Amino acid sequence: MAKRVIFTDAEIATPDDFTNIGVFARADAQTLAGGAVGYPNAWARFTISQTSAIQLSINPGALFQDDVFYTSTSAMPVNLQAYLPLVSNDQKWVALLVRGAHQTDLDNRMFETDVASGATVQQQTPVADELFVQIVVQDGLPSPTPLKPSIAASDCCLAFVLLTATGIAQIVSGEGWRLKTLFEVEGRVTVLEAEFSDIEQRTSTLETDIANIAGQLKSIPRIELMRQIQTNLCNLNVAVKLPAVARAYWEDLGLFDADWDTTNASWLARIWTGVRFPWASITNNQLSLLTAGDPLLTITNKLALPAWTEKTRISVEGADGYKDISQQVHSIVTAVENTVARTSVSYGPTINVCTNAAGFAAVAGTEVGQTFTANGQTYVNDGLSSGTGSSLGAGNIIHPDINFSAWNSDPTTANHRIYAVQELQIDSWTETYWSYVTNTYGVNGSIYGQTFLNSQATIATSVDLYFTRVDATGGDVHLFLCETTATGEPNWSAALANVTVPCGTLHTGWNKFPFTPTLLDPGKLYAWFTVTVGNHALATVNDNKYAQGSLFWSTDGKWAQGDPTNDFAFRLNAASFATTRTVVNFQPLALENGMTEIKLLYGGWAPGGTSLVWEILPVGSSTWSTLIPKGDTNPLVGLPPLCQLRATFVGTTDLMPAILLDTNARAWAGRMQGSMTAPSKQQAFGYSSSSVTVVTTVDNFDGNLHTFTNKLLLASGAIVTPSVTSTAVDPNKSTRVTFTSTFALGAPQTSAAVMPCATTSTVVKVPFVQDILMFAA
């Protein structure tokens, strides 16, 4: 005790002297409690017993608050009936709080009233000053799954009690507020000291090991180099088409869905030159004219051209002799007619170039199947033959201001041209006619024909033949326009047009054989040939008057025999256009709740020196916008629900672009969803690994609008989030960001699936995954 009361013999003690005995003792006890214990709010020695379904008994204990401590000397009952939840299925947590209180105890004592007589009187007077404990119940919220009430920093919680409608269900001690005894602290310190000694020994060993490792670091390749090697190996595997076996590294360019689990319940994406956000809504209608039979167009077998008249382009006149065109052995010839190649135009603020398109070179140009699919008809560009490039002038397929990208000159894609820039993508083919969607005709009869050189680009419309004899007994005449082989022979499998003229309409003299307008490339040798069983004769000219071709016949429908001196008399007629510019309105594009993308798919051609310019007029706008990115705000940013559509044909009096308005001519309008989740299929590592790295390149990424997260999906179905993710911005393109995520799998795994996830706050600007790699350590 720092201070004590001293009494001496014969001293008359005063009441304060006796009071100080307690005051000094309490002061010393509080000094000890505050200096040695020092808990701001802690309880000690309390125990709780349940005396009934709704009542508890709190056995004696103490409360320490800094240098003051409060005690209870007897058990305190707590009745919780008033706190029981009213709904039978509800539960509730309540907290028992220990709070200190101060009171002065009073009692009756005898007081002397007269010193002389010694008379006394009984009076009530303070006899003790007490610091005691109170128990306060803090109520919680009832719920089928209740939460514990939060405790204020100034309170001390003795216990949490779970209540049901029938009474007390559980008592949980407030260990976080319990005062730990010196014995407990000593035990914990002893354990820590032992562990510290062990750590000290291990640290000494580690210092030696680290020093040895530091000496070997220069001989260890950098992780960046190893990752580059792994990336190159992934690309090489794709390029040389190595068999799919278990590997510790995997890459996907988002070109095909073979490695993506599109049937997974979490799948919310699409694969199209990258991993893209899915459609929220899309319409797919036939591309058709606003006014059927528009007089500004001439439509032949659904091929639409600006209105034209006919003029003769090649004329071989004369009647030096004749040739019976049915005198050879009748044979069955199978003519394969090629069809007009397709063009796809995609436009909108959510159209973005994916630089992984070169990945298609490894699989023979399968991109056609990705882009050109309509009404169940898929066009595959597998092994497309070399084209001349004349039918699509570079830079003029859509507009003179557009230039084709380096993709056009890639030798691995010689016949597939792609022009792609921000907000616009155009896919087209350099051959006017392709052999991947064909019509086959089997005809019987003798085969005669004529080859001819087309010196300039021509839209052929008919061939005139001079008949010197017509068999009145019958025999329709079938005429085919076809390409020739490299040796100058007719190519029966590359017919471009055909027409049948009934025998009853034939007469001696010139007879017209009209067919669907057909674009002929300049500088190419073409042929026409007839097949008939009728005893007809055609006029010929001799002495090689027409030196740019040869008369020929075939006896077996396979091989053609040429005549070096004679030619058939014929005229090749072509379209002549009255105007060099024609504007035509098409049916508008509509999508409920607005569109962010449009796509047009149609057959047709656009020869060099011509262009076909598409324009849209969104509802509410007064200005037509061409489907050409100008750098300003895209007209589809406002999510228009309706857009008028028109096309401008620009050309010359001899050449014009054309559109094939068949059922496969389509007009799409679409809008993206606001989130993307794309789980891949499980990729086997070939061994067990507990650490995986995923590197994802995300293009068109804006951190203010978008979020992106790499995740892993284990074979068990568990989803793993990365331990750490770093980002790197492409120095050549600020919107291309690489996310490198490291995953700690815990238990070793033999396989995993990547699951990139992204969100956007606006559907008019969405990111997409350009490529993704996974490496197992």
Same domain, 154 and 64: yes
- H/E run at residue 618: strand 611-618
Alpha helical stretches, state H, 244-366: none
Q: Distance of CA 101 to CAs 25, 28, 753, Å?
A: 19, 20, 63
Same domain, 469 and 513: yes
Query: What's the distance, Cα to Cα, between the start and end of the chain in Å?
Result: 68
Nearest alpha-carbon partner for 697 in 442, 229, 356? 356
The reported pLDDT for the residue numbered 121 is: 87
**What are the structure tokens assigned to 105, written together?**
């105890």
**What are the structure tokens assigned to 129, written together?**
């000053």
The reported pLDDT for the residue numbered 739 is: 97
Any domain includes 10: no
The reported pLDDT for the residue numbered 634 is: 77
Same domain, 289 and 419: no
Q: Which is it for strands 42-44 and 76-79: parallel, antiparallel or unpaired?
A: unpaired
Nearest alpha-carbon partner for 483 in 432, 526, 538? 526
Any domain includes 29: no
Distance of CA 480 to the CA centre of its chain: 48
What span, in angstroms and rounded, lies between the C-alpha atoms of 473 and 327? Answer: 16
What total number of domains does the chain contain?
Answer: 6
3-state SS of 487-517 is CCCEEEEEEEEEEEECHHHCCCEEEEEEEEE
Any domain includes 702: yes
**What are the structure tokens assigned to 17, written together?**
């002297």
Full-model pTM:
0.59
3-state SS of 562-601 is EECCCEECEEEEEEEECCCEEEEEEEEEECCCCCCEEEEE
Type of residue at 749: Q
Any domain includes 223: no
685, 247 Cβ separation under 8 angstroms: yes
Alpha-carbon Rg for the chain, nearest whole angstrom, is: 47
What span, in angstroms and rounded, lies between the C-alpha atoms of 254 and 119? Answer: 110
Alpha helical stretches, state H, 172-267: 182-216, 223-240
Helix, strand or coil, per DSSP, at residue 597:
strand
Quick: pLDDT tens for 476-505.
999 999 999 988 889 888 888 999 999 999
Any domain includes 622: yes
Same domain, 473 and 620: no
Q: What is the largest CA-CA distance in the chain?
A: 177
What span, in angstroms and rounded, lies between the C-alpha atoms of 5 and 224? Answer: 81
Helix, strand or coil, per DSSP, at residue 565:
coil
What CATH number does residue 541 fall under?
2.60.120
Any domain includes 690: yes
What value, to the nearest 5°, has the Cα angle with vertex 733 and ends 708 and 406? 120
Q: Distance of CA 687 to CAs 285, 361, 602, 683, Å?
A: 50, 31, 50, 11
Same domain, 271 and 348: no
Same domain, 170 and 66: yes
The reported pLDDT for the residue numbered 539 is: 94
614, 647 Cβ separation under 8 angstroms: yes
Q: Which is it for strands 524-532 and 477-484: parallel, antiparallel or unpaired?
A: antiparallel
Domain endpoint, select from 628, 656, 672: 672
Same domain, 335 and 466: yes
**What are the structure tokens assigned to 157, written together?**
């919680």
554, 334 Cβ separation under 8 angstroms: no
**What are the structure tokens assigned to 644, written together?**
């008028």
The reported pLDDT for the residue numbered 241 is: 61
Domain endpoint, select from 429, 458, 475: 429
Helix, strand or coil, per DSSP, at residue 185:
helix
Type of residue at 451: T
List, for the chain, all residue ranges whose pLDDT scores fall below the cut of 70.
1, 34-35, 235, 237-246, 328-342, 344, 346-444, 556-558, 628-633
What domain range is 540 assigned to? 309-339+435-576
Domain endpoint, select from 576, 591, 614: 576
The reported pLDDT for the residue numbered 397 is: 31
40, 68 Cβ separation under 8 angstroms: no
Type of residue at 287: L
Kindly report each contact of residues 22-29 with a partner whose C-beta sits within 8 Å and lies 24 or more positions away, as own/partner.
Answer: 22/129, 25/1, 27/2, 27/3, 28/1, 28/2, 28/3, 29/69
Any domain includes 4: no
The reported pLDDT for the residue numbered 376 is: 35
What span, in angstroms and rounded, lies between the C-alpha atoms of 456 and 524? Answer: 9
- Name the residue with tokens 């190419």: 524
Q: Distance of CA 656 to CAs 344, 460, 645, Å?
A: 18, 12, 20
Same domain, 529 and 587: no
Any domain includes 113: yes
Same domain, 397 and 264: no
HSE (side-chain half, CA atoms, 13 Å) at 343: 25
Same domain, 148 and 196: no
Residue burial 647-681, b: 16+ Cβ < 10 Å; e: rest: bbbbbeebbbbbbbbbebbbbbbbbbbeebbbbbb
Helix, strand or coil, per DSSP, at residue 679:
coil
Same domain, 263 and 314: no
Same domain, 76 and 170: yes
